[in-house]
């Protein structure tokens, strides 16, 4: 199992690791962490993304420092944190849109960039964009295997399959700007699925949706994760749904990070709330690693 392998390596090489990590992240890797991580991962897949000591900056301002975490095939991985804590920058780095200042991001187990689907946030341009649903879903096939200028029959088939999966086949020739927010988000999800064979990354997928559409969206993503085994990496502000669906949580804050299975995140959060005053205080200064999370800095 890759997980145990990693742990062995740590014990053998603690000195070296600690040098790279001044805060000694791996040293704090307790037994609890390992047991919990294995318990909650119902089907243990291979490690597919390994992020090691990366630092990122946004417009010359450092937002993420010395962060490490791993993603396994089949995970439902949520990234939470305050505005400006570098969630979107981190996602850009994972997508290969941005180079980390230092550290490295490894795609393992023959995962390729082409296997990763992406659902970005809405942009202002899209609100009144004259394009049919089919055209938009098709655009997900560009760049995947089509090096040529035109799309093939195969791509059309992929687009149709994904539209069917999300129940938007009947909207296929409708204009995107006429659709409701929930339908638009389904279209963008279908487009993302055209390029997602193994991993799907979502950037705040329920922003601006009404509660019904939001819960529909969550259950769709949950189905994709469970039925198709596609790994989900999602940025979210909605803590209640993170707790409901996620298998792993990465919590970014300006000063400290939490990474671990969702059970541990609940404890981490409770502790944080105790220290702070009220339910809104999610990100306090607690000793995260005591609960099995990797607490860096």
Partner 1 sequence: MNNLFIFLTVKQNVFSKLSEYFSFSFVRYAFIVAILISLCSALLGVSLVLKRYSMIGDGLSHVAFGAGAVSAVVGVAGMTLTLPVTVVTAIFLLKSGGRKKIMGDAAIAMLSAGALAMGYLLLNITNTSSSNLSGDVCTSLFGSTSILTLSRSDVNLCFVLCAAVILFFVLCYNRMFSLTFDERFAGATGINVGLYNLLTAIITATVIVVGMKLAGALLISALIIFPPMAAMRICKSYRSVILTSALISVFCAFTGLILAVLYETPVGASIVCVNLCALIFFSLLGFLKKKIRNTEI
Contact residues for partner 1, defined by CB under 8 A: 95-97, 113-114, 116, 118, 120, 123-126, 129-132, 135-136, 138-140, 142-144, 146, 149-151, 173-175, 191-192, 195, 201
Nearer to partner 1, 150 or 277 (CB): 150
How far from each other are the two terminal CA atoms of the chain, in whole angstroms? Answer: 28
Compute the least distance from the CB of residue 72 to partner 1, in Å. 21
Nearer to partner 1, 7 or 126 (CB): 126
Which CB sits closer to partner 1, 22 or 143?
Answer: 143
* Residue closer to partner 1, measured from CB, 138 or 217: 138
Beta bridge partners of 47: 72
Please report, to the nearest 10 degrees, the dihedral formed by the alpha carbons of residues 137, 231, 265, 103 taken in order.
-100
- Sheet strands (E) in the chain: 47-58, 61-72, 76-81, 102-107, 116-119, 199-203, 231-235, 248-252, 257-261, 294-296
**Distance in Å, CB of 193 to partner 1, minimum:** 12
Q: How far is the CB of 137 from partner 1 (least distance, A)?
A: 11
Q: How far is the CB of 90 from partner 1 (least distance, A)?
A: 14
Q: How far is the CB of 150 from partner 1 (least distance, A)?
A: 7
Of 44 and 151, CB closest to partner 1: 151
What is Dmax (Cα atoms) for the chain? 61
**Which long-range CB contacts under 8 A does 98-101 form with residues at least 24 apart?**
98/56, 100/54, 100/55, 100/56, 101/54, 101/55, 101/56, 101/57, 101/62
């Amino acid at each position: 199992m890759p997980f145990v392998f990693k742990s062995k390596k740590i014990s053998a090489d603690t000195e070296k690791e600690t040098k790279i990590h001044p805060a000694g992240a791996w040293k704090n890797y307790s037994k609890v962490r390992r047991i919990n991580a294995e318990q909650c991962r119902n089907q243990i897949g291979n490690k597919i993304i390994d992020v090691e000591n990366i630092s990122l900056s946004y417009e010359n301002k450092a937002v993420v420092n010395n962060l490490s975490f791993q993603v396994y095939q089949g995970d439902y991985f949520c990234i939470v944190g305050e505005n400006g804590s570098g969630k979107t920058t981190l996602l850009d780095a994972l997508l290969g849109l941005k180079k980390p200042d230092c550290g490295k991001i490894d795609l393992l187990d023959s995962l390729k960039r082409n296997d990763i689907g992406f659902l970005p946030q809405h942009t202002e341009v899209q609100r009144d964009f004259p394009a049919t649903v089919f055209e938009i879903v098709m655009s997900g096939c560009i760049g995947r295997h089509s090096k040529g200028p035109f799309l093939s029959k195969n791509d059309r088939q992929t687009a149709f399959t994904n539209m069917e999966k999300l129940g938007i086949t009947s909207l296929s020739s409708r204009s995107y700007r006429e659709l409701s927010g929930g339908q638009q988000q389904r279209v963008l999800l279908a487009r993302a699925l055209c390029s997602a064979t193994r991993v799907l990354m979502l950037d705040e997928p329920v922003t601006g949706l009404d509660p019904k559409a939001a819960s529909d969206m969550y259950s769709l993503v949950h189905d994709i994760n469970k039925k198709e085994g596609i790994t989900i990496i999602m940025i979210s502000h909605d803590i209640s749904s993170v707790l409901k669906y996620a298998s792993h949580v990465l919590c970014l804050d300006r000063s400290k990070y939490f990474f671990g299975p969702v059970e541990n995140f609940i404890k981490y959060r409770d502790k944080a709330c105790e220290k702070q005053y009220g339910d809104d205080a999610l990100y306090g200064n607690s000793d995260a690693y005591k609960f099995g999370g990797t607490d860096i800095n």
